[in-house]
C-alpha cells in the first residue's frame, strides 16, 4: 500500500510538472498548451500514466460504493479482461484510422478509455452475479442502472460530441451497441437470479421454466453479439487501404473464438440446468405437509423433495445445491450426489433419450419450452 501511494504521488507530481512546463512554453496561452504537450513524447507518457491512474481510482470508487471489496481472483479476471478488450479494440481502430497525433486521436483515446471503464464495470457485475448469495439485489440493480446511463452518455458523445470520421463513428456506435447487448444479458441474469433467490409463494416449476427460457435468450443474445461483430468487421474489411493479411485478421479470429466460447458456455449452462430438472423429476419423490423445516432456507416444508436417506428439501433449494455442485461438469451430471445433512451418496437418474430430444428442440424455439 505504501509503494502504491508513493507511485501515485510521484505520478501526480510528474503530471503537474509536465503541464506547468507546457504552459510556460506556450507563453501562458492555454490554447497553445496542447500542442506543446503533444510535441514531447515524455510529456505524453507522463500524462497518459496520470490519466490511467485517475481512471483506475474512479473504477475503485464506483465498485467500493456498490459492492464489497473485490477478491484477488476477481481483480485478476477483471484486469485480464480489460487488457484483452483494449488490445483487440486498438487493433481494430488501427485499421480504421490514420494514426497521427492530433485532436481526433486525443478524442479517440478518451473514448476508448471510457469504453474500457464501462466494460470493466460490466465484468465486475458479472463476477458479482456469479456469487449472488453474497451480493445485494438492490445494489446490483442500482449498479445496472448506472451502467445503462453510462452507456447512453457514451453513445451520445460518440455521435454528437466527439465528431469522429464516418468509419470511426460506425465503429464507436457498434461498440456501444455491443456494450448494450452485454448490459441486456446481465439485466436478464439479474432478473432470473433475483427471482430464484426471493421466490416465496411462486411455483418452482414456473421459476424453472422462466430460467430455462432465460438461458435460451442468453444464447440468442450471444449469437446476436457475434452477428454484430461480423457486420463490424465486414464494413472495416471492405476498405481498400487494408492489406489482404493484417492484424485485422488476428482480431477477427480472436473475436470469433471469444464469442463462440461464450456461446458454448451458455449452452452448457442451459444443458446442465435441464439435466438437473430431469434428475429432480426422476430421482426424488414429492412429499407434502412435513413438520420439519428445510435446512437450506429454514422455511416450512409444505411441498418438498424427499431423499432416499429420509431428509427433505424444497425443490428450489435442492436444485440450487445440485447446480452449484455440478458447475465444474456442465456436459453431464455426475452419477452421484450427497445429502446436505448426512452426506449420504444418492444415485441420480437422468431423463430418457426421447425426453432429451424434446428439450433439444425447445432450444430452437424458446416459447415451446414446457408447453409455453
- Per the structure, the complete domain to which residue 267 belongs is given by 71-274
Residue 330 phi/psi, 5-degree rounding, is -80, -25
Mean pLDDT computed over every residue of the chain? 75
Point out the domain boundary residue: 66, 90, 121. Answer: 66
- Same-domain check for residues 114 and 222: yes
- Same-domain check for residues 267 and 209: yes
- Same-domain check for residues 249 and 150: yes
264-298 pLDDT per residue, tens: 877 877 777 777 777 777 778 888 877 777 777 77
> Tens-of-pLDDT digits for all 372 residues of the chain?
566 777 777 677 877 777 777 777 766 666 666 666 666 677 777 777 888 888 888 998 898 888 888 888 888 888 888 888 888 787 777 766 665 556 677 788 888 889 999 999 999 998 888 776 567 788 888 899 999 999 999 888 887 777 777 777 888 888 889 899 999 988 988 887 776 655 554 566 677 777 777 778 888 888 888 888 888 777 777 765 555 556 666 767 777 777 788 788 778 777 777 777 777 777 788 888 777 777 777 777 777 788 778 788 877 787 777 776 655 544 445 556 677 777 777 776 655 444 444 444 444 444 344 444
- Same-domain check for residues 340 and 350: yes
- Same-domain check for residues 154 and 243: yes
pLDDT computed for residue 355 by the predictor: 47
From residue 270, alpha-carbon distances to 72, 94, 276 in Å are 28, 38, 10
- Same-domain check for residues 192 and 338: no
Point out the domain boundary residue: 43, 66, 89. Answer: 66
Number of Cβ within a 10 Å radius of residue 371: 6
pTM above 0.85, yes or no: no
Quote the number of domains for the chain.
Answer: 3
Residue bearing cell 431428509: 311
Point out the domain boundary residue: 12, 37, 66. Answer: 66
User: CA-to-CA distance for 119 and 229, rounded, in angstroms?
Assistant: 16
Alpha helix ranges (H) inside the chain = 2-25, 30-39, 41-66, 72-94, 103-129, 137-156, 166-197, 204-237, 247-283, 315-325, 353-364
Residue 212: alpha-carbon gap to chain centroid = 19
- Same-domain check for residues 181 and 322: no
- Same-domain check for residues 10 and 47: yes
CATH number, domain containing residue 355:
3.30.40.10
- Same-domain check for residues 128 and 166: yes
Q: What's 347's DSSP letter? A: E
- Cβ-proximal residues to 104 (8 Å cutoff; 6+ apart), any chain: 97, 164, 165
- Same-domain check for residues 262 and 290: no
- Same-domain check for residues 120 and 108: yes
- Kindly report the CA angle at 143 between 142 and 147, in degrees rounded to 5? 115
- Same-domain check for residues 75 and 174: yes
19-76 pLDDT per residue, tens: 777 777 766 666 666 666 666 677 777 777 888 888 888 998 898 888 888 888 888 8
Contact between 327 and 318 under an 8 Å Cβ cutoff? The reply is no
The x, y and z cell numbers of residue 146, run together, are 448506472
Amino acid at each position: 500500500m505504501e509503494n502504491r501511494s508513493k507511485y501515485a504521488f510521484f505520478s501526480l507530481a510528474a503530471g503537474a510538472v509536465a503541464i506547468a512546463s507546457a504552459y510556460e512554453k506556450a507563453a501562458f496561452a492555454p490554447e497553445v498548451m496542447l500542442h506543446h504537450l503533444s510535441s514531447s513524447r515524455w510529456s505524453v507518457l507522463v500524462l497518459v500514466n496520470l490519466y490511467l491512474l485517475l481512471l483506475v481510482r474512479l473504477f475503485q470508487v464506483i465498485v467500493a460504493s456498490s459492492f464489497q471489496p473485490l477478491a484477488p481472483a476477481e481483480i485478476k479476471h477483471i484486469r485480464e479482461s480489460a487488457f484483452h478488450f483494449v488490445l483487440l479494440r486498438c487493433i481494430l481502430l488501427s485499421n480504421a484510422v490514420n494514426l497521427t497525433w492530433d485532436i481526433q486521436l486525443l478524442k479517440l483515446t478518451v473514448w476508448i478509455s471510457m469504453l474500457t471503464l464501462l466494460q470493466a464495470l460490466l465484468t465486475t457485475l458479472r463476477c458479482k452475479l456469479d456469487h449472488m448469495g453474497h451480493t445485494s439485489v438492490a445494489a446490483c440493480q442500482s449498479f445496472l442502472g448506472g451502467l445503462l446511463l453510462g452507456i447512453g452518455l457514451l453513445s451520445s458523445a460518440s455521435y454528437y460530441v466527439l465528431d469522429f470520421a464516418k468509419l470511426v463513428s460506425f465503429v464507436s456506435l457498434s461498440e456501444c451497441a455491443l456494450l448494450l447487448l452485454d448490459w441486456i444479458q446481465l439485466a436478464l441474469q439479474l432478473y432470473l437470479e433475483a427471482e430464484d433467490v426471493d421466490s416465496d409463494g411462486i411455483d418452482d416449476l414456473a421459476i424453472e421454466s422462466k430460467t430455462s427460457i432465460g438461458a435460451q435468450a442468453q444464447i440468442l443474445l450471444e449469437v446476436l453479439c457475434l452477428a454484430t461483430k461480423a457486420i463490424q468487421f465486414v464494413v472495416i474489411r471492405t476498405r481498400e487501404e487494408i492489406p489482404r493479411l493484417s492484424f485485422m485478421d488476428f482480431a477477427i479470429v480472436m473475436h470469433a473464438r471469444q464469442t463462440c466460447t461464450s456461446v458454448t458456455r451458455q449452452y452448457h449452462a442451459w444443458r446442465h440446468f435441464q439435466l438437473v430438472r430431469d434428475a429432480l423429476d426422476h430421482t426424488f419423490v414429492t412429499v407434502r405437509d412435513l413438520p420439519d423445516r428445510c435446512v437450506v432456507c429454514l422455511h416450512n416444508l409444505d411441498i418438498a423433495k424427499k431423499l432416499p436417506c429420509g431428509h427433505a428439501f424444497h425443490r428450489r433449494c435442492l436444485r440450487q445445491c445440485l447446480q452449484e455442485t455440478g458447475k465444474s461438469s456442465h456436459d453431464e451430471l455426475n452419477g452421484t450426489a450427497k445429502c446436505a445433512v448426512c452426506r449420504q451418496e444418492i444415485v441420480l437418474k437422468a431423463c430418457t433419450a426421447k425426453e432429451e430430444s424434446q428439450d433439444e428442440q425447445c432450444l430452437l424455439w424458446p416459447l415451446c419450452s414446457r408447453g409455453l
